[in-house]
């Protein structure tokens, strides 16, 4: 995993991929699958929708830390598996043989098998909509990974991998932060 410039980390969530979110409650780590995410600032800040129905939410609220890990298309069954069992009764890292690595700034673990990881701090909770606002504090990318396609949840039990890419960098230049 190579360090990714923080100013580029919003581009990991901007395309709307399904992601894994890890937490650590002080005793053990957990991981959940989340599709309801949004960029809210280039710095980066992200919003995710989650609440008490997810076992991870208590750790997220109490530690105010998490890692967003972006899986690639070859991790579809991991994404589905993690999303359909609960940390309340399952050690998902053991169940899925998922290796972790310590983060630099947060206790929630990185998932090096993923395409990218972002260490995040919780900076706000909007309880009436179950929205958690996160600030990215470090980001990493596996630049050697062959499978680079992200996955998008449709919400009906199907998932779509990234397809063809189109370059409109010249046309979009006025609307985007300068990326080195």
Using CB under 8 A as the binding rule, whether residue 20 contacts a second copy is answered as: no
Residue 10 CB contacts under 8 Å (≥ 6 apart), including other chains: 39, 41, 42, 43, 44, 46, 136
The yes or no reply on residue 96 touching a second copy (CB under 8 A) is no
Span 23-52, contacts to a second copy by CB under 8 A: 35-41, 45, 47-49
- By rule CB under 8 A, what string of x and - marks binding of each residue 142-171 to a second copy? -------x--xxxxxxxxxxxxxxxxxxxx
The DSSP bridge pattern shows strands 45-49 and 65-70 to be unpaired
Quote the least distance from Cβ 97 to a second copy, whole Å. Answer: 18
Could you give the angle at the alpha carbon of 158 between the alpha carbons of 77 and 37, nearest 5°? 85
Cis, bond preceding 44 (omega within 30 deg of 0): yes
Contacting residues toward a second copy, per CB under 8 A: 8, 10-11, 14-17, 35-41, 45, 47-49, 73, 76-77, 80-81, 83-84, 124, 126, 128-131, 133, 149, 152-176, 179
């Amino acid at each position: 995993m190579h360090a990714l410039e923080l100013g580029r980390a919003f581009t990991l969530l901007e395309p709307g991929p399904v992601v894994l979110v890890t937490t650590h409650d002080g005793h053990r780590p957990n991981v959940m699958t989340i599709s309801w995410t949004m960029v809210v600032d280039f710095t980066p800040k992200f919003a995710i929708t989650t609440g008490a129905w997810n076992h991870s939410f208590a750790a997220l609220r109490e530690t105010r830390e998490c890692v967003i890990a972006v899986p690639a298309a070859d991790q579809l069954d991991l994404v589905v598996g993690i999303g359909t069992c609960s940390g309340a009764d399952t050690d998902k890292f053991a169940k899925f043989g998922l290796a972790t690595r310590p983060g630099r700034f947060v206790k929630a673990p990185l998932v090096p098998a993923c395409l990218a990881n972002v260490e995040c701090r919780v900076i706000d909770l909007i309880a009436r909509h179950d929205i958690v606002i996160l600030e990215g504090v470090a980001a990493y990318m596996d630049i050697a990974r062959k499978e680079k396609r992200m996955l998008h949840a449709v919400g009906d039990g199907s998932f779509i991998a990234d397809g063809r890419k189109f370059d409109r960098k010249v046309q979009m230049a006025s609307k985007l932060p300068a990326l080195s």
